Amino acid sequence: MGSYICEELVRRGHVVTILDDLSSPANPYPPEANFVKGDLRDIGLVNILVNNADIVIHCAAQISISRSIEDPVFDAQNNIMGTLNLLNATRRVNVKRFVYFSSAATYGNPLRLPVDESHSQEPLSPYGTSKLSGEKYALMFHKAYGLSATSIRPFNIYSSRQDPSNPYSGVISKFIDNVCKGRSPIIFGDGSATRDFVSVHDVVDLVMLMLENDACIGKAFNCGTGNATRIDELANMIIDLYGIDIKPILEPERPGDIKDSFADISLAKNVLGYSPKVSLNDGLKEIKDIKG
């Protein structure tokens, strides 16, 4: 996610500094950006980097739900304390905007569909809890310190840069990796579960709108397409795209998986003028064209 945002900011003429601990495989950051290897838990480093910033976009996180369950303290140290370090450094600087990347995981099991921003937030994992805590801290810093903070709650982001070998990567990258190698995509459950798959390009568009519009300050916004796609339909779309005569393999449903989830994006549309432009079919074709 961060690499795409950096590219767009560089394209718009911004001077960009990237802080990344490289715990995930290196991203193709634009060469025009200033790269710093480091950790948000390093308070001294964070203070130095934020000192000259006019915009802070916080994408860094421990993203593994399973690791958060195995080691909730590690998850909290990264996602809560790292966020708090960044917020505390930023509140001392007169920044135009602080954008916090939250998650649809903060909602837990949807009680109604589509999920809007007023939906109760009852996360099912330490990861979801830490992301919710970071969001609450960011929006509280607006109220307590006047920080121009806003929060984005992405649903299922996909892009050609997701690593299918990463066990925490999205289902689209895993399906495409299997199908392009002539293997059947594996579905956990009966395939009827639904998700809201949003292209990384549309997420970048919403972030840019947040930077341009003060109406976002102090608010959280869903980022999705507003469309629900069944997992078995997704698998068949990818199989058809590659023109291979295979069928998905069904395996037992995983404990804790949410059945249905898709976003109500009317708040982002009405307040910021957000309108997703990349259809799922076009997004899948882009990935195929890039990855082969």
| Distance (Å, whole) CA 8 – CA 59 | 15
CA-based nearest residue to 186, from 194, 176, 196: 176
Active site residue 145: no
CA 98 and chain centroid, separation? 16
Q: Are 156 and 148 in contact (CB under 8 A)?
A: no
Helix pair 43-50, 82-90: axis angle to 10 deg: 40
Q: Are 222 and 104 in contact (CB under 8 A)?
A: yes
CA 129 and chain centroid, separation? 15
CA-based nearest residue to 58, from 66, 67, 49: 49
Q: Token match 């809890």: residue?
A: 129
CA 91 and chain centroid, separation? 24
Query: Choosing from 4, 100, 107, 127, which is the catalytic residue?
Result: 127
Which distant-in-sequence residues (6+ apart) come within 8 Å of 98 by Cβ?
A: 55, 56, 58, 87, 90, 138, 141, 147, 148, 149, 150
Residues recognised as catalytic? 127
